[in-house]
Amino acid sequence: MKLISVFLLLLISYLSSFAQLIGDMDDESKLYAETKQVNQFFRRFNGEEDKSGDRLYPEDRQFRSFSLRRSYLPMLFDLENAGLNEEIADTFVEFVNDRSTPQYLDFHKDSWFAQVSADFYYKGELKPIVLFLKLEQERLGYKWVISRVYFKLFEDYFIKDTTYIKKFLHPMSHELDFMNMRKIFSRADSVQQYMKKDFKPDYLTIFLYELKKGNLQFVSVRDLKFHFFQIPEWYFEVSYFNRPGNNTGWLISNLVKYKPEEEKILKDFILYEN
């Protein structure tokens, strides 16, 4: 009876250790499967990291291999996103991993940028502001710089007024020493009608001015995503997903096939330029 008891204790101990090992292996598998960093997204997209998460270099046999990329690329999509067309995603994977003309991402190349949604206090009220950042070379390295800003309140200031007949200064106004200029500033809501045709407000300058005046105070970052235009005639968005399972981390959340003449339209839409 005592021998049976000892055997049962050993069996329970073994099963417990085995279960712990399986649990550790699951955790390890998740660790390897999760694309934890944006740099890692680049490496996996390019086939510069093996399945154990170790960095690969040009002298390594698997570096940018067709088979490695074939296994990695489908894992880089948000598989829970019903809006991602599976057929289009498959076409994209085949295009970037074509044996004769493979396509790779370059961290230091143009045509990709970050979009940061942040909260600011503007004159005491909490407001959302969108910042667009891009990489800029600085001596021997690179740095992130703010390239554009979108703030709904700024946009509202510059909405074109269509309720008035187009206003203008008479072409002979210079002969009057522009004394009729007072009508430009008589109504602030119509001043914009006197600007040149291609006038576009510089929200970034206004943003910096309001910061320096103390009217804007940064609170926190709410969301971050990246926009890629590095693959010819393809656009994709990368977002972070924190959830159970292996399909987590930085993943492709949006994918669009576009024609060359549509690129500007797409960029303007993303940058709130339209």
Which pair of tokens denotes residue 57?
Answer: 């270099």
* Per-residue pLDDT, 177: 77
* Number of structural domains in the chain: 3
On the question of pLDDT at 23 being above 50, the answer is no
User: pLDDT value at position 124?
Assistant: 92
Q: Give domain status of residue 6, yes or no.
A: yes
Residues 51 and 22 grouped into a single domain: no
Does residue 211 belong to any structural domain of this protein? no
d(CA 252, CA 196): 41
Q: Is the pLDDT of residue 12 over 60?
A: no
Which secondary structure element, helix H or strand E, spans residue 220, and what is its range? strand 216-228
Query: What's the gap between Cα 150 and its chain centre?
Result: 15
Q: pLDDT of 121-172, one tens digit each?
A: 999 999 999 999 999 998 889 999 999 999 999 988 887 655 555 677 777 7
Read off the pLDDT band of 6 (50, 70, 90).
very low
Same domain, 55 and 76: yes
Residues 98 and 44 in one domain: yes
Is residue 155 a part of any domain in this protein?
no
Are 55 and 189 within one domain? no
Residue 195, domain extent: 165-199
In whole angstroms, what is the distance from residue 248 CA to residue 2 CA?
50
Q: Please report whether residue 79 resides in a domain.
A: yes
- Tell me the mean pLDDT in the region 6-21: 39
Mean pLDDT for 248-269 is 96
User: What band does 25 get if pLDDT is binned at 50, 70 and 90?
Assistant: very low
Same domain, 96 and 39: yes
pLDDT score recorded for residue 33: 59
Half-sphere exposure of 156 (CA within 13 A, CB side): 3
Instruction: Tell me, yes or no, whether 11 and 39 share the same domain.
Output: no
